[in-house]
Every structure is written in structure tokens, then in C-alpha cells.
A and B are shown apart, each in its own frame.
Chain A
Amino acid sequence: MRRCIAEGVAALPMIVFLVASPAAAQDEPGTDEGQPVSPQAEDGNRPSPPVPEPLPPEESAGDSFGAGIGPEEAPTPPQETPVERDEDTGAPATGEARTPVADDVPELEEPEERTSHHFGFGSYGRLGVGTDFHGATPQQPQVTAHGPRTVQSPYLELDLYYTIDPVGPYLVRTVTTLGFTDDLFHYTGDWSAMLALRNVYAEFTYRDMLSIWVGSRSYRGDDIYLLDFWPLDNLNTVGGGIGFRRDRLEIAWHIGVNRLIDEYTYQEADVPDRLFGAERIVLMDRQRLVTSLGGSYRLWGPPGGPAIKLKVYLELHYLASGTMRREEDNTTEHLPSDWGWTGGLQLGSWGWGERDSHANLFLRFSQGLAAYGEMGIPFGVDEEKRTFPGASELVVGLSVNYERGRFGILGAGYVRRFTDADPNIYDEDDYWELVLDVRPWIVVFGPIQLALDLSYQQRFPYGMSPSALELLDPGILQVAPMIVFAPLGPGSYVRPQIRLVYRMAYLNEGALDTYAFEDPRRYDEVTHYVGLQVEWWYNSSYR
């Protein structure tokens, strides 16, 4: 019965989407008159905060194709001023006024085209400090794969762009994004931080129409901000891609590999050297190949909206076979090759309401390896130690933002079903889950806003809890009122923001049961949090 309710809830996003679509919004007068058209509005499917000062074209990072980039935890708030381009041809406008010449004035020679080099910097950052009223570091209880982001660990991205424009018909750009997470030195006294290269790639764009990139790239599309979740496309690989964009159509193909450091994919061992001592060798090295193909088409409306677009998406995953050695007895075990696929759709609508109002509906189905994600280590394999065809994942997600004047409301939700590949039907590893999150906000005066984050998350496993020996459905209800200081003005996606947050979370019996017996959290039915948070992004890397 519960699962059928979850199925029914899967219908709700469609209903909400249809209600929130431009058909309703068309009654509203256009709100973008006189406002610069942001590149996000042009794409339409990601909300974007308005840039307070338009940058000259030569300082922009330019557009690129493919999936979005940015941190796992960061939204997709790319923001740059666009390069002004001819709407029909897409060719960059020169931006230079031509001086009228009199008939008797000798014709001036056309100036040579100059190649300019630009350095750009962007950043996404968030951190907070708070208390759980027990004198300990506050935590965010979560029983679903993705949940509300009222309390998150610190995260920082530094984007470094270098653009050479033009190089013949090309625009050349390199992007380097450093990501930092883990605790802060000022909090732990530990002089270390977890560092990752989120992006290291070079991109070549031909006449703003065709682009090619190669490198290590966080490659993704549109997100659900409130849940820090990219429901359709979110890949992290080392590879390359090609994109094409013209008028209403965008197509992007990518291929990449990864090779995780995990006993399932990688194994080193010491073996006798040919002469003396031991030599470290690689016994198993299983690369995973991922390729994706996405196509987006603006079905209706101008680039600035109101408009609707449809995106179709496909992924293929392949993991090579390998042989691992059991450390205990030095025998070997063959791990077979495996594969998976993903297919998805996105229906996006924007340009109605004010500022960054939008709605996105996502649908994604994955089977085999793809159900675990490209960074996931398969578990619950079948008798042949494969995930295909037994494992699958289905996601229906919705992201909505509506703003008008001093008021706005963000909404998010998804329904997800996951099954692993093992032969057990009544298995705790197989489940449905549901998350709903809404955050209305209102400007009280000046830069001060009040917001309220309400969220509900629940998981419906098919099997018994191994500790409680009965079927439990972990669920959490959260309420989080906030006072927001937004000096750059109102807007769901306007940053930076400072927030004073109180959060109360109620965990039901199933949620408490997810903790080990000796974990003190198992006995804390209601948790509290009060904290001060900051979040910013500007000129952050985007797709």
C-alpha cells in the first residue's frame, strides 16, 4: 500500500508542473523589459541570479556545451554576463561602434582582429557554525539518498578560467576548479583539507556553435537546488565531448572513463621482485567507460521566456572484467564485465513570474551499473556477480521556483525506486523513497528576509530491518525557519546570503532504527539545530 502511495505521489510533480507552466504565467505581464537577458534565461532551465554589473564581453568566461559543472553540493548558479551575439547566427557581435565616414574622407583600414587573453575567477562557497543543543557538532539526519540542505558540511570551489578569444574562428578556454571539503582548520585544528580537482579541462568553441572539450570534468545539467541533487545528468569522468548548439537545438555527446580505488575495481599487491625484496604491482585495474548523449530543444517561446524546452538523455556504462586476489588465501576470483544504461527526459519551463522563476520536471530510469551511478561501487550483485540486468533505479523529480516582488517560493521533490541485483525480493536494499521540500521566503525590509524550509523524507524498504526484525519505513519531518540577510536584493538564487537557521527534525521509529544500537542518535527522536550560515556563488563554473 505504501509503495502505491509513492507511485501516486510520482504523479504529483506532473500535476504541479502543468499548473505552474507558462499557461498560467502568461497572464503575468512580462517582467524582463529593460533587464539584461542572462544566459541562464536563454537556456532557461537553470535559475540564475542576476549579475549586478554586466562585465565586458572580453572578461566573460563564455558559453560552453555539455552538462553543467560545479560541485556536488553547489547548485547550478552559473553566472556570467553573456557575450552579445547575433541572435540568428550566434556570431559574437563586435561590440564596437562604426564611425560614419564622409565621402571625401579616405577609407580607413579595418583594424586587425586582436586576440585577447582573459583570466577569470569564480567561486562557490558555503559553511556554517551551529549547535545541536547537546554541545556537539550538529548533524543532518537523512534516510533518503538526497535530502534537504538545511545543515551541510563546509564546501568551497575556486574556479580559474583562462580564455583566449579569438584564435581564428575558435574561442579557447581552460577551466580549473579546485574543490575543498571536510572540516575547517579553525574548527578542528587539523592542518589539512580534502582537496579535489573538480574540473581540469580545455574547451574549444567554434563560432559559438560547435565545441569540443577534453579533460577531467564534472559534467551535468540542471539541479534541484533544495535537495542538492542532479536528477537527470551528473557525471564525473575523465574524457571529452562534443557539443552543438544552434537556435532552439542543443546536442552534446561525451565519453569518459573512471577507475575508482576500491577493492572491486583496483588492487595492488606486493610480489617477489626478480632479484631482491618485493615489488608493488597492479593486480587488477578495471576501468569504467561512460558515455552520454543529450539533446535539448526549445519547444515554445523565445530564449528569454516564457518558454518550454524538452531534453532527452541517454547514458551507457561499461565495466571491464578483472581478476582479484583474496588476501587471506591468495586464491583468485574472476569478476565479470558488467554494463548499464540510463534514459531520461526533462521538461523545463522558464521566463514567467519574476527573476528566476522556473519549473523542471525530470524522469530518469537506469538499469545495471548505471543504477549505482558512475562513482558507485555495485552491491547486491546477482549470482554471476553482475548488476545487469537485475539492478534498476527510477527517479521522478521536480524543481520549482516562483518569485514575485518581495515573495518567492522554492519547491523540490522526487520519488525514487532502487532495486539491487541480488535474487531476494524482500530485501532491505530494495526500496522506494520520497522527498518533498518547500522553502517560501519573504522580504521583511531591506536586505532582511524570512524563510521557512519544510521538508519530509521517507524510505520504504521492501525488507525487514535486520535489527528490529520487522518492516519499518524510516521517515523524517523537518521544520527550519530562517532569517536571511541578502544584501544584493531579493531572489531565490541571489547570493551571497547569511542565514540564521533553526531546524527541528522529528525521526520516526524507522529512522531511529537506521542507527547502530550504540549510536546515541538512535535514541534522539527530535533533534534541534541553531546555526549561522553563509553561502555565496559568483562566476561559478557551469556547463
Chain B
Amino acid sequence: MRISAKCFLPSPRWLLALALLGGCVDTDPVRELRTRPHRSNADVDWRDQVIYQVMIDRFENGDRSNDFNVEPNVPARYHGGDWRGLINRLDYIEELGVTTLWISPVVRNVEDDAGFASYHGYWAQDLLRPNPHFGDLMVLRELVDAAHARGILVILDIVTNHMGQVFFYDINGNGRPDDLLIGGGTSHTCVQVCGSPIEPERDCSNACSPDECEYCERGYSYLERITEWDPEYDPRGVQAWSSLGFSGDSAIRFLYMPEINRTPPAPPPDWFDWPASRGWFDNDSWYNRRGRVYTWWHEGPYSVSFLREQETLGDFPGGLKDLNTDHPIVQDALTRVFQHWIEVADFDGFRIDTLKHIDRPEPLEWEDWWEGATTEGGRDHRGFWGEFCTRIRSGAASLGKQNFFMFGEAFDGNDALLGAYTFPGTDENGPFGRLDSVFYFSQKYRVIDGVFVNGNPTVEIERLYTERATNYYDQSHASRAEGGIGLPPQQVLVGFLDNHDLHRFLFHSGATVEMLQNALFYLLTWDGIPCIYYGTEQLFDGGNDPANREDMFLGNPERGFAPFDTSHEHFGFVRDMIALRRGHVALRRGGVQVRWTTATRADEERRDAGLFAFERVHDEETLLVVINSSNDFESETCAPASEGGACMRTSFGPGTTLRDISPRGAGYTVTVAGDGTVAVTVPPRGGRVLARE
């Protein structure tokens, strides 16, 4: 008979045998959760990290007692994964070799919307309380502490742009959410305010800008029918409407559906010290109430400022209500709630969702200004990020945490826009910082997809790298002691092949395991911080959401992989590439010098088809990396004879012998010729990491 371990923990014992049977649990850890020591991270350099993205619900089910509303065979419902499950699989994480976990949001969510469940965590309902599907605060802290004990950092995914589907727009004033209203919506605004937008009667009067006229015309038929759950964007704010016409701003009504936790968020606990008079996330004024983003920056002939304002003030698709992040009290509340999570759970960084939907730090000269614009922008407009990032850094420092890393997701291929979020600014209150880094979406589209999937010329990689100097901040926002990371954003961009919002790399038409490994080779040898989506090492190949959120605990049956299988070749490849990066400071921290690119597509037969070569230069070592992105050709780092036949020059002197130290190097060596050039051959979809022998 086994007595639960819960019975026996150190405590004073009384004389009677009865007390011995009782046992004692030391609850001091519970009481002191907020004041428990935090990991200082003084020894951390973020360039050394390899991030592993985990969607908690899909990773491992370690605690059956929180399996509420679990339907493991329905892709868009909860599957039962939890923090206990991740704790149980830290051995696997450690064997893979990643150094940082990025875990999906931890806050309590609206449970359900239109039959879809909030297993991903992005539908916040209560920003202070943990999602009971995943565990409680003690288990969350146990996860972080257990990871720290293995030298693994933990980054928390946070959402500051929006809350879940917590209210509806009562456009017709009947007090209930109507799925369909005929004759309402923005098109009605257009007709009533702008005049008829439709040819041949088109008469968009002076009351509306050309952007609004365009918006009305394009969306007329679609916007004629709206839903009060998620109406389309209206520049004036969603308007109430009846058969007699407009009646002002539409009221919003917070829902009360406790069975799916679609209720106003509970007030903060007393110890949070937040006066009720300041309001909370059930306050109307804390939301922008403009309706759902309908057009996106890269679409249509709209002015940039109109589109960017829509992106930053509109609700996020799916009924996710946009927070008024320009409101000082909202800023304060968001800063304090996420400071709370650092305090109780000792996270080492934030991954910030929907970055570009808050603030417009891009230079104003980019924009053809929309005359109806109501928001400010520009680099020196502090906005939300200037306030949030500055306070979070100082807050982390006050807890003894250095190196608190904040990077954001701006789901956009525009490199300049991404970089805009990394620049600091100065306003009347003084200087302020912004994000330490961003997800390198421009690299994802132009390099990962463009070069390694579609075979575009590898010179594109160099172009993107060159643009970095202009588009990204080149200084650190704050020193480590001040809570910053002591590194410029230019050096710590977070690269990735795919994530939870994109289909798996292997879902690309024609994608192969060799292509995946080729792209990983680049990701893990290039500069910046590589981020690997869970399951990449298990050859998951799901399509778009929710197919790309496969259950890790089911393994990959199509490939014959058991759950968490570490025996197959591909896992070994990923593990070994990570180990290679971790074992060589040049790959992690070295500067980049591009040595060879091609201006032709990888499927064009030539001597150097698909090749990309670069050096990673560090004081301690220099490594030469050569990657072949072509499917069909073994290539060599020399020009075709018709182009002179010159071979690659590197920083290695003549006579230097270089050995391939990559996992599949197989003892390949090459010697620098007397003229200082070197001809490195690389098989199709192969790569080499050459070190001085």
C-alpha cells in the first residue's frame, strides 16, 4: 500500500500516533509565491537561446482532473494538455536541446465562441487568473522553476491588444445579440453620411474622404448585412441604428453566459490594490468600439493612415474586442497585470501578440494622411509600447530579474514596419524604449518561403540582411541591470519556419523533409534567435489553423513516430543542429559576413545553383556556412565559367584546411587555395559548417 507523498512532509510532530498518520504539508511556498526569489538571468545572453514554441493544450496531458470540456478528436476544442504535462516532458525538451520555452497564454479565457474553444489561450476574459484548463498558479510556478532548474528559460505569450468575446454591439437597441441585421452596418453609415457610393448615382459628398467613399463602395453589398457579435469597422465607431435612422454610438453590452465563462471579468483581488473607481475591463471606455478590422494594410487603394488606423483601432477578427490602449488607465492596468505574472511565475520574457495592432511607430512620412485620422503616430509618440516596455523592464529589474526579453508578433512582411517597433523615442516626458525584438516575418516570407521553398535567388537573403541596418534599432534599450537585454534588436531578431498561425513548413506544396532540414540548417546557423514550433522535430505537416495544432501526445502515426519519439533520424538531425549552435559561440553571437549569393533561381542549372555562403565571425572562432537551396544540383562556390569562374573568397588564409563540423559533415574538408579562394561543394538541399581544422 502506498501512502500518498502528500502525507509526509517535514513539520513538527505531536506525541500522538494520530498525528503521524496525518502528515503535514508545508504551505509556505503557497503563501510566499509573490515574494519567492526570481531568477536573475545575469548569466543569460539572448543570442545563445533557441526558443521552442509550445501550445500547452496540445503538448501533454499530465493532469486529468482539469479535463473539463475536453474533446480530443475535435481539432478546434480543448484536448487536455496542461502545465503538468509539460513538466512531465521536460526530459524530452532537454534532450532536444532547446534553451527557452515559449508557452501559450496562461490567463483565463472565454470558453467557447461559435462552437470553437479557446484552447489556444488568446481569448482572454480575466487577465489576472490562470486558465483552469491548464492548472493553477502553483503548478505554473512549478513549471517555470522546474525549467529553470534545467537551465531552460520560459517566455510567456501575452495579449495586450484585445480581450475575448466579452460584449456585443447592441446596434438595434433590443438588448440581445442578433446574429444578423439587415440594412444596418457601415454601408448604412456610408449612405446616410457620405451619400450614395454606388454608380451611377455616386455622389460621395464632401462629408466623406475619398478613403471612406472607397470603403463604402467596396463593401456595400457585404456590409449591408452585419452581426452584432462582430460588426465591421466603422471609422466613427459602431453606430446604433433603427428604422428611423442613426441614433448615435452603439451601446455595448457585456454578456453573461457563465457556462462558457463569457462574463465580465471578475474584479482584481484586494492585494492587487486597484481601486474600483478606476474601472476595470468591464468598462465601456476601455474599448475602442470601432468594429472589426475589415481591410488590411497591404490591401486596396486606401491611404496608409486609414488602413493603419483601422488596424490599430478595430476589433480583431473573431469578435475579439480591441482595447483602448491609448487610455492611461488601460495602460496602467495592462502593465500591472503583466507585471503580476512576472512576479508570481518568474517568467523570463514576453512574446507579445498582435504587436502591430497597437500604436503606429512607423515614420509618419510613409503615410498619405487620411483626413479623418484621429490617432497619433510616429517614432516619438510614446503610445502604449513606450509606456509598457519601459515600465516592464524597470519592474523586472526591481524583482532582481535582468535580461527580461520582450519581442512581438507583427504579422506582416514589411520589414520596415517590423523594425519600427524596435526603435526608441523621446517625448516631452523624456526618452522611452520599445520592443527588444520582433518575429522576423520578413525573413519568413522572403527567405524561408521565398528562397528555401520557392527557390528564389539567395541574394534575397543578403538584401534582407542589408536592410536590417536601416530598419532596426542598433542599440540596446536598456542594460541588463536595468531590466533590458543589453543587446540591440538588430542582433536578436527571432527567426522561425512556421508557427501556430501559419501552416506547417511541410504543408507547402512539394515540400520534403530535405527542404525542411535545409531551412532548419539556415535558421540554426544564421544570426538572431531561432524559434522552433513544437512538432517540427517530429515532422508534423498540418495545414492552417487548426490543423497545425497537432497533438504532440499522439505522436506522428503517418510517419510511424511514437509520441515524443527521439529515435528517428530527423529528431537526431534537429537535436544535433541545436547542439552545434550551442557548442559554437560564432553561430550564436558572431557577426555576419556574406560571402556568396546567387542572383538566379535555385532551379536554374549552374555551377553555384542555390548557394548561399556566409561567415559567422567571433573573437574566439570564425565559421564558414554554405547552404545549397537547390533541389537538383550539387553546387560549388564558384561562378560558372561563362562568368569568369571565380571562386569564393573568405577570411581564411591560403592553405587553411576547413572541416565540415555539421551533423552530416561526414568528414568533408576543403583547403583554401593559394589565391585565397575556396571552392566548397554542397549536395542538393545540403549545408556545411566549416571550421578551421
Contact = CB atoms under 8 A, between A and B. Distances in A.
A348 to B, nearest CB: 17
B135 interface: yes
A470 B268 CA distance: 12
Contact of B77 (A328, A363, A420, A429): A328
A236 to B, nearest CB: 26
B543 interface: no
Contacts of B24: 3-4, 7
B368 interface: no
Interface stretch (B60-68, B243-251, B579-587): B60-68
Interface centre among B14, B18, B29, by most A CB within 10 Å? Answer: B18
A417 B8 CA distance: 13
Contacts of B2: 389
Contact of B136 (A326, A365, A466): A466
A10 B20 CA distance: 11
B27 A2 contact: yes
Contacts of A367: 1, 3
Nearest to A327: B71
Contact of B64 (A4, A7, A385, A429): A385
A331 interface: yes
Contacts of B599: none
A326 to B, nearest CB: 6
A365 B4 CA distance: 13
Interface string A417-432: 1011111111111101
B267 A14 contact: no
Contacts of B3: 367, 389, 392
Contact of A7 (B14, B31, B77): B14
Nearest to A379: B65
Contacts of A466: 129-130, 132, 136
A430 B6 contact: yes
A6 to B, nearest CB: 8
Contacts of B73: 329, 331
B673 interface: no
A380 interface: yes
Given A11-B16, A11-B18, A426-B138, A471 B27 contact: yes
User: What interface size band does chain A fall in?
Assistant: 35 or more
Interface in B17-34: 18-19, 21-25, 27, 29-31, 33
Nearest to B21: A394
B644 interface: no
A382 B31 contact: no
Taking chain A's interface residues, is the majority helix, strand, or loop, or is none over half, making it mixed?
Answer: loop
Interface string A1-38: 01110111011001000000000000000000000000
B84 interface: yes
Contacts of B269: 467-470
Contacts of A389: 1-4
A329 B74 contact: yes
Nearest to A469: B269
A424 B31 contact: no
Given A8-B14, A10-B16, A466-B129, A419 B27 contact: no
Nearest to A363: B18
B11 interface: yes
Contact of A430 (B13, B25, B137, B270): B25
Contact of B63 (A379, A424, A471): A424
A393 B418 CA distance: 57
Interface in A364-421: 365, 367, 379-385, 389-392, 394, 396, 415, 417, 419-421
9 contacts: A6-B22, A7-B11, A11-B16, A365-B21, A417-B23, A464-B136, A466-B130, A469-B128, A470-B31
Given A331-B71, A417-B22, A423-B63, 19 more contacts: A3-B25, A3-B27, A10-B16, A11-B19, A380-B65, A383-B61, A392-B7, A419-B7, A421-B4, A424-B65, A424-B84, A424-B136, A426-B25, A426-B138, A427-B138, A462-B6, A469-B269, A471-B30, A517-B266
The 7 closest A-B CB pairs, nearest first, are: A426-B138, A422-B65, A7-B19, A11-B16, A380-B65, A471-B30, A389-B2
Interface of A: 2-4, 6-8, 10-11, 14, 326, 328-329, 331, 363, 365, 367, 379-385, 389-392, 394, 396, 415, 417, 419-430, 432, 460, 462-464, 466-471, 517
